[in-house]
Amino acid sequence: MSLFLVFIMLLTIAAPVSANGITISDINLESAIKEELKITTGELLPDQLSKLFDLDGSNRGIKSLSGLENATEITSLTLNKNEIADLVPLSNLGKLDWLELSNNRISTINSLANLTNLVGLDLSNNIITDVSALTGLKNLAIVNLTNNQISNISPLSTLSNLQGLYLSQNKISNLAPLANLSFLDGDLRLSNNQITDISPLAQIKVSKALSIDLSFNQISSLEPLKNITNITKILAANNQINSLQSMSNLKAIHTLDVGYNKLTSLDGLNLTNGSTRYSLSFNNNRISTINQLSSITTGDIDLSNNLIMDITPLKNMKSGSLYLSGNPLNKESTAIIETLRSRGIYVDYEIIKPSVTRLSGLSRFDTAIAVARAGWTSADTVIITRGYDFPDALAAAPLAYKLNAPILLTQTEGLTPDTKKVIKDLGAKNAIILGGPLVISKGIETELATLGVNKIERLAGKNRYETASLIAEKLGGNPETAVIAYGYDFPDALAAASYAARNGFPILLTAKDSIPPETRKMLIGKKKTIVVGGEGVINQVVFKDLPGAVRIDGLTRFETAANFVEKLNLPAEKVFIANGRTYADALTGAVLAAKQNAPLLLVEQNSLPYVTQDVLITKKVRNVVILGGTGVVTDNVKKQIEN
């Protein structure tokens, strides 16, 4: 037999169809086509393929479209959830008006440039970066490019017949190409991008109605939308929006989601159509009054986690649902809730009255003892620091937590009798003294020895910065993060103490305008620093000189402590409360707070600061421990927390 005949025989064996048939290289695609054409046996012939007008081959494991170029009469093609990367076989299918290719492996769409009949195109969930091929497809009405890697949307500026443009989950920051778009009755989705400025949207033309999704960006204002009066739906949750004043003209709105923003007021809303069923989400803002909702009689409204006390404006609701949890509602409002529930309205509201306990003694020394007895039945180690000066102890909490050691206070010359008793009761064998002999005398070492403490170590530097550094060295563990606090005041360091302790981060001290050499040495190898406090205590020069610095601050010491909880999203079912004007109780209580995975918040002696109250409400705190007696945190504060 000649080699030529052998070759011909091999070709015959390998070919999937006869010489008269159409070769579809992917068997899964071929199967989908035959199923659509109801071909059960035999070859796929050209005249059969010419009758393929509509094909759904989704979720079949198709990898190649080779051979589909012969289906020249096809008008609708759906191939979602496959493994397709190459679109070249589609390049001349000029009659296609609907094409769905979501959830594939497509990175290049140049082959679609000639498909000018396309009305609907779904390329979502691929890896596309360049959409230039869409420039000439002027009949496109529905374009879905969700979840790709697109940053430049200039090629879309020529689209003039849009009904739906879906660009969520990309890398878009510049909306200028959308400035002249026209929508008949459409949907524009831009969520989860990198958008800060939506001013180009002010020029969009809308004939009937528009729904727009701007969620999860960095937008601070909705003002550019103020003249698009036929917007019916705005989704703008998780942005930086601080006002709705520009929305007074948007009377067609029936759906609005501005949850997780920075709103303090609903001023600007014009929701006056009493017959409209509204869907409104204002959750997780700082809204206190809701008078703008008084015309609503039906709808679903989420106002959870705000600062609302009075819900009288909602008393006329006849149907729908209300979400009100996490607000400090007054008694009149709780009565309104029962009335609304009697009408069949679902109201989500749980009255949370935190359990409040107090750890205290007649003096700061006794409060430290109360904390020790509440948190430890035994302790191998105790940490001793001077009760009337804070610098040496500011950085102590992480070390105390690591050693499972309570912090006890002493006078310079001697331990109080009750402090001696608690050391003996705990069975401590080791003691770490913070500060030199001028701060805590040598005589205290003798007293400790008589109590059965056989190992005494002193951590004392020539200044507060070196003492903090020595504590950090003793802490060890080589963490990549450090907490940085101002060395000449206590509240910021104490606000961070529980968090730093739980995570094994050292607390290092700095001056306002320079990093001390002792601190700088301890920063070697650190990749991140958490700076606690504003520029009034740690200026920008120091901030920029710190590795990977992030700042948590507030207008007051109380707000800094509150922001520490909010910005780090700390668990706060239980919190510890201390007087923000004195340090002793917070210092000794911080270790117990860390043991119980609770943050530390600050209050005035006789009042609960607004920012502290905000955390108690929004975090739905159920247990509060007050550190110190009524001389440092009065019962008035206790009642405010309970109510």
Q: Tell me whether residue 494 is in a domain.
A: yes
Residue 282 lies in a domain: yes
**Mean pLDDT over residues 432-441, rounded?**
92
Euclidean distance between CA atoms 620 and 641, whole angstroms: 12
CA-to-CA dists, residue 54 to 31, 98, 123, 212, angstroms: 14, 9, 18, 31
Task: Note whether residue 108 is domain-resident.
Answer: no
CA-CA distances (angstroms) from residue 457 to 264, 448, 504, 606? 52, 11, 21, 39
Query: Are 332 and 408 part of one and the same domain?
Result: no
Residue 14, pLDDT > 70, answer: no
- Can you tell me the distance from the alpha carbon of 90 to that of 133, in angstroms, rounded to the nearest whole number? 13
Strands (DSSP E) along 497-634, which ranges? 507-510, 528-532, 549-552, 574-579, 600-603, 623-627
pLDDT in tens, 144-170: 999 999 999 999 998 888 999 999 999
166 within domain boundaries: no
pTM for the structure as a whole: 0.69
Q: Does one domain contain both 338 and 384?
A: no
356 and 638 in contact (C-beta within 8 Å)?
Answer: yes
How far apart CA 282 and CA 442 sit, in angstroms, is 61
Q: What is the mean pLDDT of residues 489-517?
A: 93
Q: What is the mean pLDDT of residues 607-632?
A: 91
> Cα dihedral sign for 209, 215, 217, 219?
positive
Per-residue model confidence as pLDDT tens digits over 253-301: 999 999 999 999 999 999 988 789 999 999 999 999 999 999 999 999 9
Rounded average pLDDT over 346-358: 88
Quick: pLDDT tens for 215-239: 999 999 999 999 999 999 999 999 9
Domain end, chosen from 324, 351, 378, is at 351
Task: For residues 625 and 550, state if they share a domain.
Answer: yes
The letter for the amino acid at 161 is N
In this model, does residue 177 exceed pLDDT 80? Answer: yes
Containing structural domain, residue 442 = 356-642
Of 155, 139, 229, 234, nearest to 190 by C-alpha is: 234
Q: Which residue has the higher pLDDT, 506 or 617?
A: 506
Q: Is the pLDDT of residue 1 over 80?
A: no
Residue by residue, DSSP assigns 162-196 as: EEEEE--SS-----GGGTT-EEEEEEEE--SS---
CA distance 284 to 267: 17
> What does the pLDDT average to over 489-505?
91
No. of helices (H) and no. of strands (E), the chain: 16, 26
Average pLDDT, the chain: 92
- pLDDT one-digit tens code per residue, 437-495: 999 999 999 999 999 999 999 999 999 999 999 999 999 888 999 999 998 888 888 89
- Give the whole-angstrom CA distance, residue 454 versus residue 515: 37
pLDDT at 583: 84
Same-domain check for residues 462 and 576: yes
Q: What percent of the chain has pLDDT over 70?
A: 97
Mean pLDDT of 604-622: 90
Structural contact between residues 624 and 574, judged by C-beta atoms closer than 8 angstroms: yes
Residue 192 above 90 pLDDT?
yes
Clarify whether residues 404 and 324 are in a common domain: no
SS (H, E, C) 393-408: HCCCHHHHHHCCCCEE
Question: Percentage of the chain surpassing pLDDT 90?
Answer: 81
- Examine the domain organization and report whether 277 and 382 are in the same domain: no
Last residue of a domain, one of 351, 383, 410: 351
Hunting for tokens 């948590």 — which residue is that?
A: 552
Verify that 606 and 574 share a domain, yes or no: yes
Phi-psi region of 546 (alpha: psi -120 to 50; beta: other; left: phi over 0): beta
Which pLDDT value is given to residue 43?
83
Query: Does 2 have pLDDT greater than 70?
Result: no
Decide if 399 is inside a domain.
yes
Q: Of 351, 369, 398, which one is at a domain's C-terminal end? A: 351
Greater confidence, 11 or 278? 278
pLDDT at 275: 82
pLDDT at 331: 84
466 and 552, same domain (yes or no): yes
Confidence of residue 20 (pLDDT cuts 50, 70, 90): low
Is the pLDDT score of 172 beyond 70? yes
Q: How far apart (Å, rounded) are the C-alpha atoms in residues 465 and 479?
A: 19
Give the number of domains in the chain.
2
**Is 425 part of a structural domain of the chain?**
yes
Half-sphere exposure of 518 (CA within 13 A, CB side): 20
Residues 320 and 377 in one domain: no
* Dihedral pair phi/psi, residue 252, rounded to 5°: -85, -5
Rounded CA-CA distance 595/591 in Å is 6
User: Is 218 inside a domain boundary?
Assistant: no
Q: 378 with 492, same domain?
A: yes
What confidence score (pLDDT) does residue 185 get?
A: 80
Asked if residue 515 and residue 436 are part of one domain, the reply reads yes
Q: Are strands 277-281 and 298-302 parallel, antiparallel or unpaired?
A: parallel
pLDDT in tens, 299-337: 999 999 998 999 999 999 999 999 999 888 888 998 999
Task: Please state, in angstroms and rounded to a whole number, the distance separating the CA atoms of residues 464 and 486.
Answer: 11
Banded pLDDT at 512 (limits 50, 70, 90): very high
| Residues 299 and 319 reside in one and the same domain | yes
Q: Would you list the DSSP string of 374-434?
A: HH-S--SEEEEEETT--GGGTT-HHHHHHTT--EEEE-SS---HHHHHHHHHHT--EEEEE
Rounded to the nearest angstrom, the gap between the alpha carbon of residue 396 and the centroid of all alpha carbons in its chain is 31
142 located within any domain = no
